[in-house]
Amino acid sequence: MPEEKFNFTKAYQEIEGINEWFQGEEMDLDEALRKYERGMELINKCKDRLKESENKFEEIKKKYLVTE
Amino acid sequence: MRINQSLKVEPIIEEKVFTVSEFLDFLNNILKPCKVIVQGEVGEKIDNYPRFTFFRLLDKNGAILQCFTWRDKIESLGMDLESGMEIRVIGYPEIRKDRGELKFQVERIELIGEGILKKQFEILKKKLAALDYFNPSFKKSIPRFCQNIGLITSAYGKGAKKDFLTHLGNFDFQIFFYDVRVEGVLALPEIIEAIKYFNQNFPTIDVLVLTRGGGNWESLQAFNSGEMVKAIFSSKIPIITGIGHEDDETLADLVADLRASTPTHAANILNENWKLASVKIYEFERDFSSLINRIFKNIREKIIFFEKNLTVRIKGEILLKRRGLDDLLRSLNSCFQNYFWKFESLEKEFRRNFLKIKNLIRNQKSKIEEVLENLIKNKNRWKESLEKTLEHQEEKLILSSPHLKLKQGYTITSDEFGKMIKDPSKLKISQEILTKFYKGQILSKIKKIEK
């Protein structure tokens, strides 16, 4: 099965959710470990995505120009 | 052929003879493609009809251009045409065959002069607001992390494109640039076309940025038209506007899903969340690591604590159990002791009772023996007494014997059934009766009865 395309927004939201969960009072160790692993996996993916890279620029070719 | 260039009509060298109609068609075919902009003053005579309007455009030299326009073109201005108004009309010339007059077919009207434009702006703003075009509840939300951006601006303007792109951070944005005029009569149709183009061909694009640099009020006219407001409102893709300077507020800004004050500001809005995430992601990483370490440390401390606490508690438990066992043994002992004592006292009591019973039996036995002795002693006396009683009874019996009575001379009379007669009243005259004597008997008949 091909890996689903990385969605930064969803990943970042999930990280925020995990962070919120960690602020809670009740904490199960197994769950904490699972959340930690998942959080770190997402953080690494987001870090890769955030590495500075040049923007891509494309100009739309128009058809309707009035010039002939 | 480029707009605004002077129209060059090649001389026609043909031998054809036209009818009037054919010639007018021929002329109109040449005239219609010539879209031009004509500026002038609205004349005094304005003929308004429900669906169209005729008016005259004049200049200082007294020249007159007859104009025709559909009603909606005037309505889109937000105000009616008035005599003396300075306007620009965009359209083409046409010779009407029925009248032989040249009429300028107006496709768009632009007002001229800052005063009238501001007035138009206020009227349109009020009108469109009443139609809910600026209602915040209809605004589309801008995605938190935009990646694909549709940029609508001029490639040659006063640096809006450059400002936007320069300030847009390197966050791997994909920018699709659509070059449009941002000023003049063609700005409006081009921008509307660009918005439609993105919606049709790039529907999954995150955001459209419609931007241009600063300019005077007249130069922003395209952004203050009702058509522009409707196009932005209808876009499925959210639109950020960054038009002119900070103080310039256009109708496009009011209807946009988000208004940036300048092209640079629009870029900064798109950068903002990415920049924040670039910092926050490292904070999350640090926090998560320290959190998990803290959890482990807590658990380790708890295990040590439990270990110690458990040993002390187990010792305490054993001591408690031992005490409990001792108590149990003690209570069992005392219980048994009680039973022994009770048993002993019962035994003693039993012995006492046994002796009592023994004595009782002994007494009873001696009494019985005494009675028996008495019985034996009195046996002969009772025998004698009994014999005497018997004799006496026998004598009594003998004396009352009927045989003795007969012997003594008494008789016994009985009826024919042998029943002794004691009372003669129940007898009848002539009834036979039997009379027994000591020796023999007689049968007689009754003659008389005396009572």
Closest CA to B201 of B237, B226, B225, B232: B237
Inter-chain touch A58–B174, beta carbons under 8 Å: yes
Instruction: Please indicate, yes or no, whether residues B283 and B203 belong to a single structural domain of this protein.
Output: yes
Report the gap between the CA of A55 and the closest CA in chain B (Å).
5
Which residue, of B308, B338, B368, is where some domain finishes? B338
User: What's the total number of domains in chain B?
Assistant: 3
- Indicate if B217 and B295 belong to the same structural domain: yes
Same domain, B323 and B184: yes
B297 and B216 fall within a common domain: yes
| ipTM topping 0.90 | no
Chain B, nearest residue to A37 by Cα: B288
Using CA coordinates, name the residue in chain B closest to A51.
Answer: B171
Tell me which residue in B145, B171, B278 faces A9 most closely, judged by beta carbons: B145
Least CB–CB distance from A58: residue in B145, B175, B281: B175
Q: Domain check: are B150 and B295 in the same one?
A: yes
Query: How many CB pairs lie under 8 A apart between chains A and B?
Result: 91
Strand partners, A53: B171
Per-residue pLDDT of chain B (451 residues; tens, 9 = 90+): 444 445 555 565 567 788 999 999 999 999 998 889 999 999 988 888 899 999 999 998 889 999 999 998 888 887 888 888 899 999 999 999 998 999 999 998 888 888 888 888 999 999 999 999 999 999 999 999 999 999 999 998 668 899 999 999 888 899 999 999 998 878 999 999 999 999 999 998 999 999 998 888 888 889 998 999 999 999 999 999 999 877 778 999 999 999 998 999 999 999 999 999 999 999 999 998 888 888 888 888 888 888 888 778 788 888 888 888 888 888 888 888 888 888 888 888 888 888 999 999 999 999 999 988 888 888 888 888 888 999 998 888 888 888 888 888 888 888 888 888 888 888 888 888 999 898 888 988 888 888 7
Same domain, B320 and B422: no
Q: Does residue B81 lie within any of the structural domains?
A: yes
Alpha-carbon gap: A54 to the closest alpha carbon of chain B (Å): 5
DSSP reduced 3-state for B415: strand
Residue B345 within a domain: no
Q: Would you state the structure tokens that stand for residue B112, as one six-digit string?
A: 């001229």
Distance CA B181, CA B189 (A): 9
B152 and B294 belong to one structural domain: yes
Using the beta-carbon criterion (under 8 Å), do A67 and B2 form an inter-chain contact? yes
**CB distance B170–A64 less than 8 Å?**
no
Between β-strands B64-70 and B148-153, what pairing exists: parallel, antiparallel or unpaired? unpaired
**Cα–Cα distance between B153 and B176 in angstroms, integer?**
11
Residues with Cβ within 8 Å of residue B448, at least 6 apart in sequence: B429
Domain that includes residue B44, residue range: 20-112
**Does B351 reside within a domain?**
no
B12 inside domain: no
Whether residue B151 sits in one domain with residue B264: yes
Answer yes or no: do B292 and B435 share one domain: no
Specify whether B144 is located in the same domain as B293.
Answer: yes
CA distance B194 to B187: 10
Amino acid present at B163: D
